[in-house]
Amino acid sequence: MLLSKEIAVYLNLAACKLKQYTSMVLKNNNIGLTPEQFLLIDLLWNQGPMSQQKLADNMKKDKNSITKLVDALEKKEMLMRVKDKTDRRSNTVVLSQKAQEMRNDTKEFGISMLEQMLSGISEEELRAFLSTLSKLTANMDALS
């Protein structure tokens, strides 16, 4: 198989397995969130309230995808939209008390999950992989 095709196959496989593994861990720990919902909440834990556009930029997703994520998390009472005082067209997404209360327990299992996933891979290998992924993404951005 051509190297480029093999890379494409393994990138797709890794992305699918990452989502499956994360879903399983969230389910096994009785956390009623999808991996993407968890990432959005984690982003807000780390950076605080932000606009939906800033969430989209940080998560590298389009605004419609973020709207769906925010809608679902709002139904789960994990966050709320607050009208921006300076721009009424914009909403600031703020975590609810319920989401704040689950922070400590879920952060610990999240860190543990990542450590297990990355075990046996040196920091040097991880940095090289990150650099390669970054270049790959930049190349695809330039093409679109």
Contacts of 25 (CB under 8 A, 6+ apart): 109, 113
Report whether 70 contacts 81 (CB < 8 A).
yes
What tokens does 46 get? 């780390």
Distance (Å, rounded) from C-alpha 109 to C-alpha 135? 30
For 120-135, the pLDDT digits (tens) are: 999 999 999 999 999 9
**Per-residue pLDDT reduced to its tens digit, 22-65:** 999 889 888 899 999 999 999 999 999 999 999 999 998 999 99
Tens-digit pLDDT profile for residues 65-97: 999 999 999 999 999 999 877 777 788 999 999
Q: Which domain holds residue 38?
A: 3-116
| CATH number for 69 | 1.10.10.10
Tokens for 63, please give them. 């605004």
Query: Of 118 and 108, which is predicted with more confidence?
Result: 118
Does residue 138 lie in a domain region? Answer: no
Q: What is the pTM of this model?
A: 0.82
Q: Is residue 43 part of a domain?
A: yes
User: Which DSSP string do the residues of 9-36 spell out, in sequence order?
Assistant: HHHHHHHHHHHHHHHHHHHHTT----HH
Query: Domain for residue 132, yes or no?
Result: no
Whether residue 38 lies inside any domain: the answer is yes
Q: Does any domain span residue 108?
A: yes
Within-domain flag for 88 = yes
**Alpha-helical regions (H) of 29-122:** 35-47, 52-59, 63-75, 97-101, 103-117
